[in-house]
Copies of this chain bind each other. A is one copy, B any other.
C-alpha cells in the first residue's frame, strides 16, 4: 500500500497556491522550480487536480494554476484522491464463492466480515483526511510565510 510520490508534491503545491492572492497564478514551471521537481511530470499531476475541479488553469503568458475555490472548501482527502484515484485499497473479489469451499450465493447476502472491516478502516482514513482543509494547514504556518512564498514563487 503506497501512495504515489507525487502526492507530496501536489499537497505542497496546493498549499503554496493557497498562499497567493486572488487573481494571482503560478505556472507548473514556477512550482517545479520552487520545490526542485521534474516540471513536466508535476504538470501532469496538476492537470489531474484541474480535472477534479480543485485547481483552475489559465493558458497563455501570465497564465498558470490557481485554486478553483476557497482554501477552506478544499480538503486533504479531495487532493489525495484526485492524484491517486478514489478506489479503496482492499478490493473484495469474493473468493469465498470460489473453489472447493465455495459458499452459495444465498449465504453471501451479507458482505463478508473481512471486507466490511477493511472498508470501515478505509472510511476512518478518509474521514480523518476530510476533516482537514487547506485553510487548516495554512493556519499552522508562521504568519510571515505567505508573503515569503509569494515573493519566491512568483519572483
* A contact set with B: CB distance below 8 Å: 1-3, 5, 7-9, 11-12, 15-16, 33-37, 76, 84, 87, 89-93, 95-96, 98-102, 107, 113-114, 117-118, 120-122, 124-125, 127-129, 132, 136-137, 140-142, 148-149, 152-153
Contacts and interface: CB of A to CB of B under 8 A. Distances in A.
Contacts of A5: 91, 93
Contacts of A91: 2-3, 5, 8
- Listed residue (A99, A120, A122) with the most chain B CB atoms within 10 angstroms of its CB: A99
- Listed residue (A99, A125, A137) with the most chain B CB atoms within 10 angstroms of its CB: A125
B137 A90 contact: no
A101 B34 contact: yes
A117 B129 contact: yes
Contacts of A137: 113-114, 117
A90 to B, nearest CB: 5
Contact of A89 (B3, B76, B128): B3
- Listed residue (A3, A5, A84, A153) with the most chain B CB atoms within 10 angstroms of its CB: A3
A99 B36 contact: yes
17 contacts: A1-B2, A1-B89, A5-B91, A5-B93, A8-B90, A8-B93, A9-B95, A12-B95, A33-B100, A36-B98, A36-B100, A100-B152, A101-B148, A113-B140, A114-B137, A124-B124, A124-B125
A42 to B, nearest CB: 11
